[in-house]
Chains A and B, each alone.
Chain A
Amino acid sequence: MDKQTIGIIGAGKLGTTLARLGTQRGFTINIGSRHSVQDLKWVIDTMAPGAVTMSTPDVIKHSDIIILAIPLSHYRDLDPAALAGKIVLDATNYWKEVDGTVNTISSMKESSSEVIQAYLQDSLVAKAFNHMGYHDIEIEVDRHPEVRRAMAYATDHDEIRPVVEAVLTQFGFDPLDLGPLRFGLYLEPGSPLFGEAIPRAEFVDKINRIYSTPFGAKILSERGQQVV
């Protein structure tokens, strides 16, 4: 499969890291943020040489796949109409330093990517790039070229799985399909899988044991058998 053009919305820790990794791996990367193109361009030219700085609407227009690397609480700034029909990889997480001490956005009953999918109802949302810290995204990919790290993803759209897997593979990861989007709960902060940059077998083993952890118990009590 040819490499798709990736558009990144958000140019903070994660956005600039993915832009750098993506360009290094031969992707065409477009990136935009809430800053003007003029203010952002020299930053991107330095942090992720080769990535193209654009306005956010232009990033959406000129890219095949969009990665959301913005604070979760900013999701309502996105334009659902502009993103209609696009594959959207949602890398956001609820994080209290940026999103507020009380999480009013997502819950065990509706995980953050389910909230994003409900808002971007005509987009093809997959949760991806969530569970690995922005620093480990580079460190763990670079230092284990022979044993790829698992990057788990979840989506309700079976037709996009091959594309998502190709992108994750080309970024240097071992894509791991969790199934429907609600299983993205496994990847959220608080989960034993959050923060993990480990090979597939270890990751799968942790998934298999998730319901014997306090986090798993919380999923069961909030969501019953839905996610199991």
Chain B
Amino acid sequence: MTDKPYTFGLNTFGDLAFHDDGSAMNGDQTLQQVLQEAQLADQLGIDIFALGEHHRPEFAISSPEVVLGAMAALTKNIKLGTAVTVLSSDDPVRVFERFSTLHGLSNGREQIMIGRGSFTESFPLYGYDLEKYNDLFEEKIAMWDQLLQHKKMNWKGKLTQKLTDTMVYPMLPKNETIETVVGVGGSPESIIRAVYYDYAVMIAIIGGEPVRFKPYVDLYHRAVREFNKTERPLGMHAHGIILDDAEEAKEVGWKYIRAEMDRIGIDRGWAPMTRDRFEFEIDKGSYYVGTPEQVAQKLAKNMQALDMQRFDLVYGTGGQLEHQRLATIENYGKRVIPRVKELLGGK
């Protein structure tokens, strides 16, 4: 184990939420809800609040940096991030501009998590060929890496623009940079590429026993040695609901998490989730659904098994009622995080 401090975050995709009376919030109302939740997370001392980017009817956040900009004005300490920015279907120059702007608005609390994206709606939407899914990412991560050096850009891309002695603005203060993390799924190549560029890695562990990802963790460490790079904090994100009543948490999960997985599964070719699999995910798998103590025990065990320094809880999956969302955040900040730190014996 390392003596690095642990980082605990919250993630949301901006799933359209529900009022406590069961009526659906629209996109505007959901965005206001998420702003409130970020403020609560900040007050609770949670380390990072990170937003996904989606272009589907279930989600209100397609432009995470705009939302993060509003959060920058409403919060004091919490880091403001993405999870993930689909770099492949974006323009790295514009991404840099948005994040260097956020750097200024948030006093350097921004963090970008780049990835290939597991959803593909953004490709046709922005006029990119899905068949270049991997080539686009390869080229754009290289471009991003050069942008971060924050010098005049000289760039000749195949799938990106040509730049000659071009500076990108607003400039970051001297010696400051945009903290960059790479979000990966189950592709060994993604981990290798992230290490090659010397970025921290977050793994989406959203199904099965987390310890199943040990080979990927080993691959990360091996790649660090292989390329002679720096060991950076390794993290994971997963879905969860934390309520005082374990049965209630489970039923909220069955109603909302399962519904969302099944909806997305239609496009991904996943079979509908069975109750048996859902229970397995809670008992032994990747769902952090239960009481604060249950979630803390499970989280500490899995973070230890995989030597993880960061965990982000995806909350509000499938929408959920306002009070359920807030209870999860409160329980996470007040009870789960301190308890996990205690169990891990770390800082």
Footprint of B on A, CB under 8 Å? Answer: 11-13, 16, 20, 42-43, 46-48, 96-101, 133-135, 138-139, 142-143, 189-190, 194-198
**A13: chain B residues within 8 A (beta carbon):** 186-188
Lowest 9 A-B CB distances belong to which pairs? A100-B131, A139-B208, A195-B271, A46-B222, A47-B215, A195-B269, A46-B219, A196-B271, A13-B186
Cβ of A47 and Cβ of B270 under 8 Å apart? no
- Is the CB of B165 closer than 8 A to any CB of chain A? no
**B124: chain A residues within 8 A (beta carbon):** 101
Footprint of A on B, CB under 8 Å? Answer: 120, 124, 129-131, 133-134, 186-189, 192, 207-209, 212, 215-216, 218-219, 222, 226, 265, 268-271, 280, 284-285
The prevalent SS among residues of A at the interface is helix
- The closest CB in chain B to the CB of A40 belongs to B188
**A190: chain B residues within 8 A (beta carbon):** 269
Known contacts A99-B131, A139-B207, A139-B209; A12/B269 CB under 8 A = no
Residue from A20, A133, A134, A142 within 8 A of B270 (CB atoms): A133
Cβ of B131 and Cβ of A101 under 8 Å apart? yes
Residue from A48, A98, A135 within 8 A of B207 (CB atoms): A135
**B120: chain A residues within 8 A (beta carbon):** 96-97
Report the number of A-B residue pairs with Cβ-Cβ less than 8 Å. Answer: 73
**A196: chain B residues within 8 A (beta carbon):** 271
- The closest CB in chain B to the CB of A192 belongs to B271
Q: What's the nearest-Cβ distance from chain B to residue A61, in Å?
A: 25
Known contacts A98-B134, A195-B271; A143/B187 CB under 8 A = no
**B212: chain A residues within 8 A (beta carbon):** 135, 138-139, 142
Interface centre among A101, A134, A139 (most CB of B within 10 A): A139
Cβ of A134 and Cβ of B186 under 8 Å apart? yes
- The closest CB in chain B to the CB of A202 belongs to B274
Cβ of A98 and Cβ of B133 under 8 Å apart? yes
Cβ of B188 and Cβ of A12 under 8 Å apart? yes
Q: Measured between alpha carbons, how far is A16 from B214 in the docked complex, in Å?
A: 13
What would 24 A/B residue contacts be, using CB atoms closer than 8 Å? A12-B189, A13-B186, A16-B188, A16-B215, A42-B226, A43-B219, A46-B218, A46-B219, A47-B215, A48-B215, A97-B120, A98-B133, A98-B134, A100-B130, A101-B124, A101-B129, A135-B186, A135-B208, A139-B207, A143-B284, A189-B269, A190-B269, A197-B271, A198-B271
**A47: chain B residues within 8 A (beta carbon):** 188, 215-216, 218-219
